[in-house]
Structure 1
Amino acid sequence: MRQYTTIQGDMWDSISYKMYGTESNMSILIQANTEHMETTIFTAGITLNVPEVETENTNLPPWKRV
């Protein structure tokens, strides 16, 4: 599992975008870091767990997706 150290002003959606390239995995980050689930805006220096996720390439037609 990877980790991410916050910078001042980070929020769940921005961290998700930095780590996964999309805001839609925000709930995965929150579930992996339940001790911070009430945090809206992070201070600097908090280490968060970043689980690996399966990425689905939706730009390809269904028969070419792996």
Structure 2
Amino acid sequence: MAEQYTTRQNQTWDVIAKEVYGDEKYTEQLMKNNLDKIDIFVFSAGTVLNTPEIETQQKEDVNLPEWRR
């Protein structure tokens, strides 16, 4: 996994988290690793974000419907 990610025009934190880490639930971790850009909601093209490897193991949640597991 790359340690940096360069944004495309009009991307948002959740879209980037899904692309980099496979799920938008990692948006908070992505934001914590880029506090200097926390005020940006919609990115312009060419912004470089730090994307260090994070723990992305998904534990099966028995409360989720089967199609979401």
Distance between the aligned counterparts of 2:10 and 2:29, measured in 1?
20
Task: Specify the alignment match of 1:36 in structure 2.
Answer: 37
Aligned to 2:21: 20
Distance of 1:43 and 1:55 partners within structure 2: 27
TM-score when scaled to structure 2? 0.78
* Offset of residue 55 of structure 1: 2.3
1:8 partnered with 2:5: no
Amino acid at match of 2:3: R
Q: Scaled by the length of structure 1, what TM-score is found?
A: 0.81
How many pairs were matched up?
59
Q: 1:34 to 1:57 in 2, by over 3 A?
A: closer
Which segments of structure 1 move beyond 6 Å, counting only runs of 4 or more? Answer: none
After superposition, give the CA deviation of every residue in 1:1-58 in whole Å (9 maximum; x if it has no partner).
6100000001000000000110011011111111110110000000000021112242
Which ranges in structure 1 are unaligned for 5 or more consecutive residues?
60-66
Return 5+ residue gaps in structure 2 as ranges.
61-69
Aligned to 1:46: 47
State the one-letter code of the partner of 2:40: T
